[in-house]
Structure 1
Amino acid sequence: MITYSAVILLVIVVLALLFTRWAESYVYRQKQEQLLAAGQALQPVAGLYLTGQLDQAGLESHFNTAARTAGARVYLLSERRGRALLPGWSPAAGPNAAGAKTGAQAKPSGGPGSNAVFGQAIASIWQGQTVLSRKITLPALQSEVVLVGLPVSSAGTVKGVLLLASPLSEMQQLLRQIYLRIWLAALLALLPALALVYLVARRLVAPLKELQRAALRLAAGESPPDLPPGESSELADLAAAFNYMKNRLHRLEKQRNEMIAAISHELRTPLTSLRGFLQAMSDGVIDREQYPRYLQLAHSETMRLIHLVQDLMDLARLQSGNFTLQPAPCPVSQLLEETVAAMQLAAQEKQVDLQLTPLPREIAITCDRERLKQVLLNLLHNAIKFTPPGGWVAVQAGWQPPPGSGGAPEFSACSGSALAHPASANNTGPKVAPPGPGLVISVCDQGPGIPAEDLPFVFEKFYRAEKTARLAGGSGLGLAIAKNLVELHGGCIAIDSQPGRGTAVTVWLPAAETAQPCEPE
């Protein structure tokens, strides 16, 4: 508020100063114009006087009237008459006064031309020029005046000098009154302006203070309520950004707690089993003939722990930027067949029909084969896990040609095709549009689907949808790792799902060095 007040005060002071300068200039200009008009009216009268056509009384009458009207002193310097007329004061010496040479150029001594600047002005007038001076010292008055000097000519010859002078003291008195009114108006304008600034500042600062209090509560570990949108668009944007940050931090904290609970559960379960096996074998509860069976179970639990720790390490390396791929040429058909073959046993145990649509032609890309296989195994594991017995899981792949190339896509996206069997002619639904040329792989299932409100978060680490069994169980790391690995290849991964109608995950890998987001059509 202090800053706003200072700005308003500065603006008003600057405006007041400008108005005072303008008023001063206007008053002086008006006075000069008034004196010039009066002098031009007196020029013919002075000419008559100098040529002997007007007597002294007539001249003084005209000069006195002009002096009263213009508020000025009127002087006439004449070679022939040798005197200057000063209404209301003693006559001043003219150019041919005592001590001057007869017929010499007018150079008054002891009269109005006694100082150098004034003498130069008089000399210019004797040469036929009109002089307007805003500030000059008039020796006859011993004060500064606004001066207008005009030549009085007859038959083309300058016969005299007509001077009209207005003392600055009288004008400054008028200017002081004008200045007083200007600064009084500035003061009267400043008071309501400061009051308005105070009210506006309070309206602006109040939401910021509320934001500050909410930020301090958030920093203290509390969960403040959402801030209401401000009246201005900027404050509304700020409140929305803070609310988003607060809710995001709350979600991350919730995910962190869930992560701790999930990791604790994932670690506790195999460790509890291992402890039970070892304790039972140590106590002799288990017959030696059963040792191989329980050792196999212990091995399985140990591998489960290793996989969990490996997933955590992989995700940490991926997100820290220290993960390095080992790209090499890779036949896509072979990679897909190996991946599907590795998951066939799990699909048969779940009574799920796992299908691989053959590629129309062989496609080779440059990728890290093991990491891309890790992505596909993760997607197939989730698809089989959440597809009910008797359902199907379909894997499709193909080449997406460059836009405008005229080539037809070799890939028939099954995004949304969980609405019907992939072999069905009624395979319709929302599609995920590949952003450019490259390899497209899609894994579709007939699982329960994912609610729309959970879709934006399924690729976040440790995220678990609460309203669906889609992400129930597990540590919640698989899709986060898959997303990071695909993006590390310069590709993208997208998911399309509807509750009760299945899910499709589409992976796009570029043909060149590009990285664009997968956008729904």
Structure 2
Amino acid sequence: MSIKVKKRTTLLRYWTTRYIITLMTGVLILSVFSLWWMEKTALEYRLSLLKYLADETSDRAIKDNGQIVVGPMLAEIIEEREKILHLDQQPIIYIVDVDGTIIYTMPQLYIEPEDKQLPAVIMDSKDSIQRVEVKDDSQLYVIKSPINFDYETKGWVVIAQEEGALKEVNQDHGWLAMMMGAVLVLGCGVIYVLSRKISRPIQNVANAAVQVRKGNYDTNLKEEEPREEEIYELVESFKAMTSRLKQSDKMRAEMLAGVTHDLKTPVTSISGLIQAVKDDVVTGEERKEFLDISLKETQRLQRMIEDLLDYNAMSSGSFKMQVEKENMNQFIQEISHRWKVTQEEQQIELAIHLPDEVLFGRIDLLRMQQIMINLLNNAKQAIEGKGRISLHIYEADEALIGIDIQDDGRGIPKHEQDFIFEPFYRGENKKLKIRGLGLGLPFSKMLAKAQNGDLVLKESSERGTTFTLYIEKSQA
């Protein structure tokens, strides 16, 4: 059975097509509106000119004795005025008497005797400009102007013209088409350029993502820096992500090798020691010493396995906390004393700085002890020979209590500081000198967060390192 793969379009084509369709729709709407407006304007303008022609003709079509007269002079005047209208089809001008009987037409037309009377609907209307419908369903505009003499109407000048002829704007149609075509071409070009500019960095990120999926983290995104904030953030975030993935992949390989080595070492030692005892290679006190060493290696192996199990339980969310109100001043004193008496070497000075006011925090006492012991052990490991560890407890803000664990050891290299809370990460110095899985700081941070607190690296330099443990302050 074949699987049909849905064909996808590129971002450039997708947006360019939609922008062009939108532009064409806008140009079409604008063209229709412009055409309607031009026809409306042409109609109003020509109707006003025809009204002026009708008024002028009515003034010249009456003699001093009150008789309606038509002749060559009147025809010349009408022809001269008609040139202003710029019409392909000339209007028909009727001169009628007061009863609506046609006396004269221009151009001259043969009219049947029964048709020499203009319709009453035209003659009886008080409007000087009328829009009437003729037999073939076409629309006709009729303009009337009275022929007056001594305040008495002697007849009418009636001008008739088809609506279509009055609305004709052929020359303007050409200009409109050229203008809209230019706007469309220019708009399409601008849209394509802008869409390409926007889609190019996104396409580069997509191509780089394909390389990352194949396991190649050395992506090249060194093009010109995008000006758009969102695209810039996308590119920079992707760069940071690939850098972190590359580091994580490296750490994963190192972790696998490190965990394998750290678990294998005690197993090998235990196996060798027990085999020596079994084969009676050692006897007496030496035999007992071999068994003691085997027991210690077994305990160390057990602690490493417990660390792995605890970390996995914490990661999966199945770790339970028993948070209670505790006197933090007293807790710091007790945990410091407990840690101090368990140290075989007494070269480390441990100083405690407590506030005058007693601070109460909401903590899981057992897990908080685990965090503090781990931080104190790390501080000791950072000190070569004699040194000093200081504990400062203080009120960080209204909701949190801060505990600073400060040592005067060698410090954490700058390039390692961003990764110290990553699972299984171990610095170069620890890899060479100290056995472990690299779970101490990540697990301590997870425990702190599970108690509504946090663990952060405050500062580190050649003069020493300071970690800050934040815990929730008890409000009651």
Output the TM-score relative to the length of structure 2: 0.83
2:66 aligned residue = 52
Contact 1:75 1:85 (C-alpha < 8 Å) held by counterparts: yes
In structure 2, what is the Cα distance between the partners aligned to 1:243 and 1:28? 65
Q: 1:450, CA displacement in angstroms?
A: 1.7
CA separation in 1, counterparts of 2:306 and 2:188? 66
Amino acid in structure 1 at the alignment position of 2:173: Y
Residue in structure 2 matching 1:313, options 292, 305, 309: 309
Aligned ranges for residues 461-500 of structure 1 at < 5 Å?
461-466=423-428, 473-500=435-462
Quick one: distance in 1 between partners of 2:189 and 2:300? 71
* 1:119-518 → structure 2 map (5 Å cutoff): 120-125=121-126, 129-133=127-131, 136-137=132-133, 144-152=139-147, 159-168=154-163, 170-171=165-166, 174-228=168-222, 229-233=224-228, 234-349=230-345, 351-357=347-353, 360-398=356-394, 400=395, 434-466=396-428, 473-511=435-473
Give 1:80 deviation, angstroms: 5.8
Question: How do 1:19-38 and structure 2 match up within 5 A?
Answer: 19-38=34-53
Corresponding residue to 1:78 among 97, 109, 130: 97
- Deviation per residue, 1:229-257 (Å, 9 max, x gap): 44432433322121111112112212222
**Aligned-residue CA RMSD in angstroms?**
3.3
Contact 2:147 2:156 in 1 (8 A): yes
Query: 5 Å matches for 1:4-19?
Result: 4-19=19-34
Local SS of the residue matching 2:105? coil
1: CA distance between counterparts of 2:348 and 2:452? 32
Q: Deviations over 1:7-50 (max 9, x none)?
A: 3333333333333222222222221121122223334335x369
In the aligned structure 2, how far is the partner of 1:50 from the partner of 1:468? 125
Report how far residue 301 of structure 1 moved. 1.8
Taking the aligned partners of 1:318 and 1:158, their CA distance within structure 2 comes to 107
- Contact 1:77–1:160 (CA under 8 A) maintained in structure 2: yes
- TM-aligned CA deviation for residue 364 of structure 1: 3.5
Q: Distance in 2 between matches of 1:260 and 1:142?
A: 91
Question: What displacement does 1:284 show?
Answer: 1.6
Seq. identity, %: 22
Specify the code of the residue in structure 1 equivalent to 2:317.
G
Equivalent residue of 1:86, what SS? strand
| Superimposed CA distance per residue, residues 110-146 of structure 1 (whole angstroms, 9 cap, x where no aligned partner) | 6542xxxxx5444223xxx32243xx4467x996444
Contact 1:491 1:510 in 2 (8 A): yes
> 1:283-305: per-residue Cα shift (whole Å, max 9, x none)?
22121543433333222222222
Q: Write the letter of the residue equivalent to 2:98.
A: E
Cα–Cα, structure 1 residues 468 and 317, in superposed 2: closer, same or farther, change >3 Å? closer
Change (3 A) 1:388 1:65: closer
CA contact (8 A) 1:130 1:151 kept: no
Provide, for residues 352-407 of structure 1, a one-character-per-residue CA deviation record: whole Å limited to 9, x for no partner: 11233455354433321001111111111111122122211122324x2xxxxxxx
Whole-angstrom CA distance in 2 between matches of 1:475 and 1:131: 99
Q: Number of matched residues? A: 453
Q: Offset at 1:219?
A: 0.4
**Residue type matched to 1:223 in 2?**
Y
The 8 Å contact of residues 66 and 149 in structure 2, kept in 1 or not, is answered as: no
**How has the CA–CA distance of structure 1 residues 152 and 450 changed in structure 2, closer, same or farther, with 3 Å as cutoff?**
farther
1:284–1:52 Cα change, 3 Å:
same
* AA partner of residue 211 (structure 2): R
Asked whether the equivalents of residues 57 and 78 of structure 2 are also in contact (C-alpha less than 8 Å), the reply is yes
Aligned equivalents of 2:70, 2:60: Cα separation in 1: 11
Partner Cα distance (2:83, 2:327) in 1: 112
| Offset of residue 81 of structure 1 | 8.0
Are the aligned partners of 2:384 and 2:409 in contact in 1 as well (CA < 8 Å)? yes
> Partner letter of residue 215 of structure 1?
A
Aligned equivalent of 1:88, options 103, 107, 122: 107
1:53 is displaced (CA, Å) by 4.8
Deviations 1:47-75 (A, max 9, x none): x3697255333655554554455453222
| Runs of at least 5 residues in structure 1 that lack an aligned partner in the other structure | 99-108, 114-118, 401-433, 514-521
The structural deviation recorded for 1:502 is 0.9
Q: Is the 8 A contact 1:451 1:499 kept in 2?
A: yes
Q: For the Cα contact (< 8 Å) 1:449–1:497, is it kept in 2?
A: no
Q: Is the 8 A contact 1:352 1:388 kept in 2?
A: no
2:291 alignment partner AA? L
- 1:411 match: none
The corresponding residue for 1:420 is: none
Q: Which amino acid aligns with 2:107?
A: G
Say whether the 8 Å CA contact 1:451–1:497 is kept in structure 2: no
Secondary structure of the residue aligned to 1:349 is coil
SS at match of 2:456: strand
